[in-house]
């Protein structure tokens, strides 16, 4: 599997669980992973916004219940999202 090969060489800090309450009182859960320090690395701001708003994939036409906006440094990427699943632990 492509992702398994890519993940083998990736070193990540442990994820830190965070929770917050949104305007209607719903508690939202997420995780923060601090970047690894790398010699000569430059910091980049990363932001992911997921909204409960219907979305259609522009390439496949598939429909999703959420829209997602990822901002990474100066880049912005818009797309669709699904409800998450618990990650498979190794």
Query: pLDDT digit string (tens) for 18-75?
Result: 888 877 888 888 877 776 665 666 666 788 888 999 999 988 999 999 999 988 878 8
Quick check: helix, strand or coil at residue 74?
A: coil
For the chain, where are the E strands, in sequence order? Answer: 16-21, 27-32, 46-51, 55-56, 63-64, 66-72, 75-81
pTM for this one? 0.49
CB 74 within 8 A of CB 45: no
Instruction: Indicate the pLDDT class of residue 7, thresholds 50, 70 and 90.
Output: low
CB 31 within 8 A of CB 18: yes
* Residue 23, token pair as written in the block: 């305007």
């Amino acid at each position: 599997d492509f992702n398994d090969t890519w993940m083998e060489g990736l070193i990540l800090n442990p994820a830190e669980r965070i929770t917050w309450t949104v305007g209607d009182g719903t508690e939202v859960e997420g995780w923060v992973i601090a970047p690894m320090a790398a010699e000569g690395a430059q910091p980049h701001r990363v932001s992911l916004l997921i909204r409960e708003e219907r979305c259609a994939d522009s390439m496949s036409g598939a429909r999703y219940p959420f829209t997602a906006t990822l901002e990474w440094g100066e880049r912005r990427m818009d797309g669709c999202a699904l409800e998450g699943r618990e990650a498979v632990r190794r």
